[in-house]
Amino acid sequence: MPASARPRKPRRPGRPVAGADLRARMLDAAISCFTAHGIAATPLRTVARTAGVTPALLHYYFGDKDKLVEAIIAERLMPVVAEMREMMARNVGDGVDLSAGFVNTMFALIERHAWFPQLWVREVLCEGGALRELIIKRIAPQIPQQLERHFHAAQQRGELNPELDSRLLVISLLGLTLFMHASAPIWRRIFQADDIDGDVLRRHALALLDHGIDGTRSKP
């Protein structure tokens, strides 16, 4: 009997056959698109094209865009938050160690997740960002607000400069880490600074925290 005339076995129900990394590839594609164009401006077909899959397959895995964003939050963003919480748990006893630990942790996270600073700018800082309410309602109590309480307690123990505002210290640390990376395309062009890599940025931030800008004063 010719092969074409043989009855085909019925397809077994279940997920489409695909590589084990297909879901991760689609999530990575979504992050790339959201970082470049913003969540609101990115249709699912653009994510599918970037991932090299059909829109139907993307829909099969994630449903609509809201479900895709939920997956990004759960599988990409919240693990970053979890690492930051672990850092705070390790360094909670000392205000200086906590600030240095935050800087080191953030630069290590950014090195592994280069998308994070730009997504933060687009979807948190910019008005109408899709992740702003998430940051305020879910992440702020876990990271910024806890950091502020630890810094305030460290000030009460005499470990940090009493002239600092503990709330603004948290914002300053974000500026030295997330904003520094997010604005890199601008300041690299302004200062022709392609020689500055992540480690240089990290050491600069730590030096600023340790010594300030007055190089004539020695650290006690």
Mean pLDDT across 139-164: 92
Alpha helices (runs of H) in 95-214, residue ranges in sequence order: 95-112, 116-120, 132-134, 144-156, 166-174, 180-182, 184-191, 198-211
Whole-model pTM over 0.75: yes
Residues 6+ apart with CB under 8 A from 162: 155
For residue 218, pLDDT over 60 is answered with no
For residue 91, pLDDT over 80 is answered with no
pLDDT tens string 38-47: 999 999 999 9
Mean pLDDT across 164-188: 96
Binning pLDDT at 50, 70 and 90, where does residue 4 land? very low
Residue 27 to residue 33: CA distance in whole angstroms: 10
Mean pLDDT across 206-213: 89
pLDDT at residue 215 in the model? 66
Residue 125 to residue 119: CA distance in whole angstroms: 9
pLDDT tens string 127-141: 999 999 999 999 999
**Domains, the chain:** 20-63 (1.10.10.60), 75-211 (1.10.357.10)
For residue 11, pLDDT over 50 is answered with no
For residue 93, pLDDT over 80 is answered with no
